[in-house]
């Protein structure tokens, strides 16, 4: 804060596969820093990091949470560590993406017994995409089958020789020594040489000195290593144990000595321009998470990017063009909240009760300034139709859904205009169940989840003609309108769907808008399965009218009935959404996964290897994927993940189409009754 120079701030995000030891080690660090009166454990519900009801119940990290403490390295000045813990569970990847967007560096955790897992690979690849400096922490050194050397070999085999240990464990992980401080053994000696070489390679003068056989000064090695980490040419590997506390000092000293400060990694504005982070600049902050606190209301978690943000005054929301009154800056450490007078670049503070500020908003202490690029979360891969258990709770349901969506950017809520269902979509069963439980606890709301309906479409594969004469006489003025039309398939790139080919005034011009309206209504509920009709061109070429009885409603009805008549004569087919899927799994799971995709009517497009994992690319009907997230987890023992995007529409196989059409017609009959 005020008494801490920005160059001594380290803003680091913790990443890795679930069970990799992130939270256990963080609890040990927080106990060591005096933020807890005992060393908490996630397994028994005493963790200061996993403190929410949902996390204690499930014994996993669910929310990305910042922690703030001081560490003074041996022989150096005090540093402030801003550490953000993140979930390892794949369902909560949105929390990870948000936390990484506001970090200056990352620590990827790997269990010494389990080795590299899909969550490890996912974290590494995200760091690569963001060019984020990183280190690796090998944990669980005290376990019976822990193997630090095997993990190190896997790291170098997968990601190359830039992965170099800077601390190594002793026997059974009981003690950890820093490589550059004289740790004994062949592994330490080899690592020491590689570190000195990596430091020399960052500077022409140093490499010349090194190749000339001269010994580099410790200060030269330190500066070179820091530059190598910042440029991602060196990935320091730490040995540490949250259970035995071994390696904690070496890890914190390494963060202080090797990792970048906010001054070393200026944030980029939307236009790509670097933002000066110095305290003399106008205050600039980015909201990366919102929390609904039961006591103080909404908290906006803000990473300070530049300048000095003060606890009293006004900030301009550059994203919304509004002003926000600031009434305090809060540093969060689990449940503990401390109000601070000001914050600088690298700090993460919470602002309470901002009126119009949401995720991805940029806050500024000046009337204008650079905006930060928004966080783009991954697309949901699982969806449910959601409805209140109690009739009349619709408004309550929308309020509850709005709250959980604000807190997790990978949750999406939308009303499907075609199926008329309210859809809750996310990254997996656990995430959606957490959202439902949160609504039950905080909104006193019970909901019912069900598989969503597929938004099928209808189209034609041939040409056909349709005709209908609407004639109705009820004693007074009657109704009369007659429409003749031709249907043909339309290329999706052709914007013209309606063609007026009327000659001789068979249908007066003033009734053509009613004809189009009738056609559009008919196309919203096709004759096969009451699904939307797409890619059809309509040519209205003839008709007749009555000078007294014709009206807009008459031609609207005639056009709709003529369209249905024409559709049934033009070889109609049912279309379904096809998704392009990338499934990332360990090699030993490939047979089960590809067999399951084939069973789901999937079409395998290719297989590849990325970062030691197998990647299967396939096209699969959306109808087969609504529950795929949980089923893939079962197939792979939790080691598989996937992502998907809409690809195209494709004709439903005839045997399935018949069943879908029959069910739709049965439902329509029930609605009409």
Q: What percent of the chain has pLDDT over 90?
A: 77
Q: Output the CA–CA distances (angstroms, integers) from residue 322 to 307, 310, 315, 358, in the order listed.
A: 20, 18, 9, 12
The predicted structure's pLDDT at residue 558: 97
- Where is average pLDDT lowest: 166-175, 362-371, 538-547, 551-560? 166-175
CATH class for the region spanning 6-189+234-258: alpha beta
Q: Tell me how crowded residue 292 is: count the other CB atoms within 10 A of its CB.
A: 14
Average pLDDT taken over every residue of the chain? 92
Q: Is 111 left (phi over 0), alpha (psi -120 to 50) or beta?
A: beta
- pLDDT recorded at residue 534: 97
CA dihedral 145, 149, 152, 156 (to 10 degrees): -130
User: What does the chain come to in residues?
Assistant: 673
Query: pLDDT at residue 274 above 60?
Result: yes
The string of pLDDT tens digits covering residues 358-409 is 999 999 999 999 999 999 999 899 999 999 999 888 889 998 999 899 899 9
CATH 2.30.42.10 corresponds to the domain 462-570: no
Task: Give the pair of three-digit tokens for residue 407.
Answer: 């807190």
**pLDDT of amino acid 173:** 54
pLDDT higher at 552 or 641 = 552
Contact 108, 15 (CB under 8 A): yes
Sequential DSSP letters for 517-575: HHHHHHHHS-TTTSPEE-SEEEEEEEEE--TTTB-HHHHHHHHHHHHHHHHHTS-EEEE
Residue 481 has pLDDT above 80, yes or no: yes
Give the model's pLDDT for residue 427: 92
Tokens standing for residue 614: 């197998």
The dotted CATH code for 382-440 is 3.30.70.870
Q: In the β-sheet with 447-450, what is the strand arrangement from edge to edge?
A: 412-415, 422-426, 382-388, 447-450
CATH class belonging to 574-655: alpha beta
pLDDT bucket at 42, cuts 50 / 70 / 90: confident
What's the pLDDT score for residue 172? 60
**pLDDT at residue 469 tops 80:** yes
512, burial (CB in 10 Å: exposed 0-12, middle 13-18, buried 19+): middle
Q: Are 612 and 633 in contact (CB under 8 A)?
A: no
pLDDT bracket for residue 627 (50, 70, 90): confident
> How far is 524 from 534, CA to CA, in rounded Å?
9
pLDDT of residue 174: 59
Section 33-39 average pLDDT: 88
| Inter-CA distances, 207 with 204, 221, 588, Å | 5, 11, 44
Domain covering 284-364 assigned CATH 2.40.30.10 in the classification: yes
Position 295 pLDDT exceeds 80: no
Q: What is the mean pLDDT of residues 147-167?
A: 95
Rama region for 612: left / alpha / beta (φ>0; ψ in -120 to 50; rest):
left
Which H or E element spans position 657? helix 654-672
Q: Taking residues 477-501, what's their average pLDDT?
A: 95
Cα–Cα distances in angstroms (integers) from residue 334 to residues 351, 625, 649, in the given order = 16, 37, 47
Q: Is the pLDDT of residue 527 over 60?
A: yes
* Residue 418 in this model has a pLDDT that exceeds 70: yes
Who contacts 426 (Cβ-Cβ below 8 Å, separation ≥6)?
91, 380, 381, 382, 383, 408, 410, 411, 412, 432, 435
DSSP codes of every residue in 81-114 = EEEEE---SGGGHHHHHHHHHT-SEEEEEEETTT
> SS3 of 209, please?
helix
Q: Which has the higher per-residue pLDDT, 476 or 203? A: 203
Contact indicator for 98, 410 with CB cutoff of 8 Å: no
137 DSSP β-pair partners: 109, 238
Helix (H) or strand (E) holding 405: helix 394-407
Q: Which of 178, 137, 155, 162 is nearest to 13 (CA)?
A: 137
State mean pLDDT over 255-271. 96
Evaluated on CA atoms 310, 312, 314, 316, the torsion sign reads: positive
Name the band, by pLDDT with cuts 50, 70 and 90, for residue 311.
Answer: very high
**Six-digit token string for 544:** 């007749």
Listed by start position, the domains of the chain span: 6-189+234-258, 284-364, 382-440, 462-570, 574-655
What's the whole-number mean pLDDT along residues 39-56?
87
Give the per-residue pLDDT at 52: 87
Name the pLDDT band for 452 (thresholds 50, 70, 90).
very high
Q: Do domains 6-189+234-258 and 382-440 have the same CATH topology?
A: no
What are the tokens at 630? 């949980």
Tell me how far apart the alpha carbons of residues 630 and 639 are, in angstroms, rounded to a whole number. Answer: 11
- Reading the block at residue 42, the tokens are 């996630």
pLDDT-based confidence at 2, cuts 50/70/90?
low
Quote the radius of gyration of the chain (alpha carbons, Å). Answer: 31
Give mean pLDDT, residues 427-453: 92
pLDDT on residue 223: 94
Please report, rounded to a whole number, the percentage of residues in the chain having pLDDT higher than 70.
99
The contacts of residue 182 (CB under 8 Å, 6+ apart) are none
Other residues' Cβ atoms within 10 Å of the Cβ of residue 470? 23
Orientation angle between helical segments 186-200 and 218-230, nearest 10 degrees: 80
Which residues are registered as beta bridge partners of 465?
486
Inform me whether the pLDDT recorded for 272 exceeds 80.
Answer: yes
Distances (CA, A) of 16 to 52, 229, 469, 631: 20, 19, 68, 22
Beta bridge partners of 644: 581
Between the alpha carbon of residue 588 and those of residues 62, 584, 631, 635, the distances in Å are 28, 12, 17, 11
Give the span between the Cα atoms of 300 and 360, in whole angstroms: 10
Question: Can you say how many angstroms the Cα of residue 571 is from the centroid of all Cα atoms in its chain?
Answer: 42
Give the three-state DSSP class for 244. Answer: coil
Q: Is the pLDDT of residue 183 over 80?
A: no
């Amino acid at each position: 804060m005020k008494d801490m120079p920005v160059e001594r701030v380290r803003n680091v995000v913790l990443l890795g596969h679930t069970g990799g030891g992130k939270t256990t080690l963080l609890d040990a660090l927080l106990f060591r820093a005096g933020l807890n009166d005992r060393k908490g454990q996630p397994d028994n519900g005493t963790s200061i990091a996993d403190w929410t009801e949902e996390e204690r119940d499930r014994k996993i990290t669910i929310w990305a949470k910042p922690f703030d403490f001081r560490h003074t390295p041996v022989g150096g000045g005090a540093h402030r560590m801003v550490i953000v813990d993140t979930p390892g569970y794949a369902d909560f990847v949105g929390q990870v993406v948000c936390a990484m967007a506001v970090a200056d560096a990352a620590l990827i955790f790997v269990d010494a017994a389990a080795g590299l897992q899909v969550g490890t690979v996912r974290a590494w690849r995200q760091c690569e995409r963001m060019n984020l400096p990183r280190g690796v922490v090998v944990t669980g050194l005290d376990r019976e089958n822990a193997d630090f050397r095997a993990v190190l070999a896997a790291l170098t085999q997968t990601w190359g020789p830039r992965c170099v240990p800077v601390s190594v464990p002793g026997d059974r992980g009981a003690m950890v020594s820093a490589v550059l401080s004289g740790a004994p053994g062949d592994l330490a000696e080899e690592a020491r040489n590689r570190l000195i070489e990596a430091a020399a390679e960052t500077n022409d003068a140093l490499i010349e000195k090194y190749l000339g056989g001269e010994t580099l000064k410790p200060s030269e090695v330190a500066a070179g290593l820091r530059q190598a980490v910042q440029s991602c040419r060196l990935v320091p590997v730490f040995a540490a144990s949250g259970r035995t506390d071994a390696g904690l000092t070496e890890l914190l000293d390494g963060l202080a000595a090797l990792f970048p400060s906010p001054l070393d990694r200026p944030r980029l504005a939307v236009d790509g321009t670097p933002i000066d982070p110095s305290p003399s600049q106008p205050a600039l902050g980015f909201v990366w998470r919102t929390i609904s606190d039961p006591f103080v209301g909404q908290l906006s978690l803000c990473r300070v990017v530049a300048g000095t943000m003060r606890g009293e005054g006004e900030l301009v929301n550059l994203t919304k063009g509004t002003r926000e009154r600031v009434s305090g800056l809060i540093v969060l450490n689990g449940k503990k909240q401390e109000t601070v007078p000001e914050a600088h670049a690298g700090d993460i503070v919470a602002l309470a009760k901002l009126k119009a500020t949401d995720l991805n908003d940029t806050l500024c202490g000046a009337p204008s300034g650079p905006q930060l690029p928004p966080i783009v979360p991954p697309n949901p891969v699982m969806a449910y139709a959601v409805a209140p258990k109690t009739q009349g709770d619709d408004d309550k349901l929308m309020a509850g859904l709005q709250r959980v969506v604000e807190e997790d950017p990978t949750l999406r809520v939308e009303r499907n205009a075609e199926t008329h269902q309210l859809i809750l979509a996310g990254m997996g069963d656990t995430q959606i169940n957490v959202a439902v439980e949160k609504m039950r606890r905080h909104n006193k709301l019970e909901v019912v989840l069900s598989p969503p309906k597929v938004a099928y479409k209808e189209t034609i594969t041939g040409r056909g003609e349709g005709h209908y004469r609407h004639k109705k006489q009820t004693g007074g003025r009657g109704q009369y309108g007659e429409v003749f039309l031709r249907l043909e398939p339309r290329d999706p790139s052709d914007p013209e769907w309606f063609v007026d080919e009327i000659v001789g005034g068979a249908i007066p011009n003033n009734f053509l808008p009613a004809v189009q309206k009738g056609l559009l209504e008919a196309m919203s509920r096709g004759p096969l399965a009451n699904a939307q009709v797409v890619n059809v061109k309509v040519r209205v070429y003839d008709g007749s009218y009555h000078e007294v009885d014709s009206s807009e409603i008459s031609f609207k009805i005639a056009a709709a009935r003529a369209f249905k008549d024409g559709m049934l004569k033009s070889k109609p087919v049912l279309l379904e959404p096809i998704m392009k899927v990338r499934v990332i799994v360990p090699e030993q799971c490939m047979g089960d996964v590809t067999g399951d995709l084939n069973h789901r009517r999937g079409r395998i497009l290719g297989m590849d290897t990325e970062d030691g994992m197998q990647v299967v690319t396939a096209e699969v009907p959306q109808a087969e994927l609504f529950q795929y997230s949980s089923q893939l987890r079962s197939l792979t023992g939790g080691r598989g993940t996937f992502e998907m995007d809409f690809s195209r529409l494709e004709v439903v196989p005839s045997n399935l189409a018949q069943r879908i059409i029959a069910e739709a017609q049965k439902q329509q009959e029930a609605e009409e009754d």
